[in-house]
Amino acid sequence: MSSISKRRKEGSRGNIKSMGDHQEFLKRISKTLYYGQLPTLSSLSLPVTEISCEVWSMAQRGHSVRRLHADQAASIARSACVSPCALVLAILYLERLKLCNPDYLTATSPADLFLVSLMVSNKFLQDDGEDDEVICSEWAASGGLDLHQLNKLEADFLNAIEWNLYINEKTFESGLLWLERQVAMKQALMRGFFTYTDLAVTCNKTLMSELMNKLNIFTTSMSDR
């Protein structure tokens, strides 16, 4: 791993802290996003990668056969040390683009869109003064592009989204919850059953709390018999 990649990974971990308690956040996504034990956040879990492929290919449905494939997404995410926070921001950027410039989404290949949206979201998260050209060079290598191609992709992306990149914590939390629910539903359908974590993510928290209270009361009453 290059020193630049190392700084990027460390920077991503530091910026996650700004979204809340760092350890609590890690504990949360290790369950809800199927990361398992998390020594680092240098790549995306398989369930998150699969959801990403669906999200970034959506604009092409009915227009072309271009899709973001799992091997492409995994390669980019691994090479660029993409964090879950950066992915959530990128998803929120896609939602903005659907409203302000849907034609841009249709015209851009899913792989290029995945690369540039993650790069922009990663820059937004870090903003640590690191040499922009050096950062772009690494991202270009991650996507198999030269620097000129990536610079054009970035300029087109920023113009398409009208430079509207700011995401507040409430919106970020909404985006994270959406991703957690998508992952939970897909994994539950694949297995044929919901885990407690899946249910906690997909169900209304108030209803879940009431259900757990009733289960506790029922369990207690049965044990007293």
Q: Is residue 2 part of a domain?
A: no
Q: Is residue 219 part of a domain?
A: no
Q: Is residue 177 part of a domain?
A: yes
Contact 20, 189 (CB under 8 A): no
Q: Is residue 125 part of a domain?
A: yes
Q: Regarding predicted confidence, which is higher, 214 or 203?
A: 203
Reading the block at residue 112, the tokens are 């290029």
Q: Is residue 151 part of a domain?
A: yes
Task: Please write the tens of the pLDDT for every residue from 61-70.
Answer: 989 999 999 9
Q: Is residue 81 part of a domain?
A: yes
Of 100, 105, 133, the residue nearest 119 (C-alpha): 133
Which amino acid, one-letter code, is at 72? Q
Domain with 96, as residue range(s), is 43-192
Continuous segment of H or E residues that includes residue 174: helix 169-191
Task: Please write the tens of the pLDDT for every residue from 28-37.
Answer: 888 899 887 6
Query: Please, what is the average pLDDT of the chain?
Result: 83
Q: Is residue 4 part of a domain?
A: no
What SS3 class is residue 166?
Answer: coil
Please report the pLDDT score of residue 121 as a whole number.
95
Q: Regarding predicted confidence, which is higher, 219 or 57?
A: 57
Task: Read off the pLDDT of each residue in 195-212 and give the average, rounded to a whole number.
Answer: 71
Q: How confident is the model at residue 211 (pLDDT cuts 50, 70, 90)?
A: low
- The pTM assigned to this predicted structure is 0.79
Those residues whose C-beta lies under 8 Å from the C-beta of residue 159, and which sit 6 or more positions away, are: none
Q: Is residue 75 scored above 70 in pLDDT?
A: yes
Q: Is residue 8 scored above 50 in pLDDT?
A: no
Contacts 24+ apart (CB under 8 A), 18-24: 19/85, 19/169, 19/172
Task: Read off the pLDDT of each residue in 4-22 and give the average, rounded to a whole number.
Answer: 48
Please report the pLDDT score of residue 219 as a whole number.
72
Q: What is the CATH number of the domain that holds 101?
A: 1.10.472.10
Task: Please write the tens of the pLDDT for every residue from 88-111.
Answer: 999 999 999 999 999 999 999 999
Q: Is residue 140 part of a domain?
A: yes
> DSSP string covering 41-79, please?
-SS--HHHHHHHHHHHHGGGTTT-S----HHHHHHHHHH
Q: Please give the tally of structural domains in the chain.
A: 1
Task: Read off the pLDDT of each residue in 44-49 and give the average, rounded to a whole number.
Answer: 92
Q: Is residue 210 scored above 80 in pLDDT?
A: no
Q: Is residue 216 scored above 80 in pLDDT?
A: no
